[in-house]
Amino acid sequence: MPLSNYQKAIGYISGVLGTLQAIIWFILSLLCLIYYYKDITITSRSLSILEAIYVKFLDPNFFYWHYSSDDVIIEPAAFAAYNWVYIFIDVLWFAVSVNQIIDFSTNSKGLYKSIRSFIAATVIVSVLDVIFVVSLGIDYNETCVNSEWELNTELCDKALIPVLIISAKVFVLWVLNVIFVYMLRHIATKLQMEILEVGLQTWTVTPVTIYSPEPPPPPVNTLIVEETIVVMAVQASVDSPTSDTLDGRYRY
């Protein structure tokens, strides 16, 4: 299928955007896991954004000392689990994004499969983002709203809200991902229809020759054959010269 410049632009931009997001969020998830398994002591009174994120989401000792796991969904263990999932998904997203860029540039026969793979990976990432952001929103409502604890308010402002925004792909990127999935789905549908049309045009029916069995030979009347043989034998004996000689011997 010859692609228009508009379709190529959609494929390139969505592939590049997916590649960049996969790289950035892979690095962020990897850093979170490194600091989660690393014991860090923070003594400063005024926390920076990075320090607040560490204390809120990556320090199990602080969390279990000040919070209850019954009131919070995204506790440090859950936060680490989400980051492990994101690492594997980002690797997959990076691979299918690069593959889509290559297939759009070469207009290869595997373009339909690469588009479908990119759509599947992007949908998975978008759904995970929604689940994570909704969970953070519930935690914000449970622990931050009407909170009178000064440190908790600081952690909500400097940790929970920034992580929520980053997890939502700054909202703008998330919306763009959904829009590109919708556009690529239309391109994939057209490609699929064209593949089916080409398949029907090239499909041929092999003629099949049906052989009917030959009719059996007519039955032979054995009585007629035997009578014919007897008549031929008598006729031969009459015409034979031997019969004349014998008749002459006994002639008076």
For residue range 41-77, what is the model confidence (pLDDT) as tens digits?
777 777 899 999 999 999 988 887 877 767 789 999 9
**pLDDT (0 to 100) of residue 214:** 63
Instruction: List pLDDT tens digits, range 179-221.
Output: 999 999 999 998 888 776 665 555 554 555 555 556 666 655 5
14, 32, 33, 34: which is closest to 22 by C-alpha?
A: 14
Q: Residue 165 pLDDT more than 70?
A: yes
- Work out the mean pLDDT of the chain and round it to a whole number: 83
More confident residue, 145 or 64: 145
Mean pLDDT along residues 99-114: 89
Q: Is the pTM of this model over 0.75?
A: no
Q: From CA 249, how far away is CA 82, in angstroms rounded?
A: 132
139, 151, 148: which is closest to 68 by C-alpha?
A: 139
Instruction: List pLDDT tens digits, range 71-98.
Output: 789 999 999 999 999 999 999 999 999 9
| Dihedral sign (CA 190, 196, 199, 205) | negative
Domain boundaries defined on the chain: 5-202
Q: From CA 117, how far away is CA 183, in angstroms rounded?
A: 14
Q: From CA 25, how far away is CA 196, in angstroms rounded?
A: 38
Q: From CA 49, how far away is CA 162, in angstroms rounded?
A: 8
> Rounded to the nearest 5°, which phi and psi values hold at 2?
-70, 125
**pLDDT (0 to 100) of residue 247:** 47
**pLDDT (0 to 100) of residue 87:** 96
Q: From CA 164, how far away is CA 132, in angstroms rounded?
A: 8
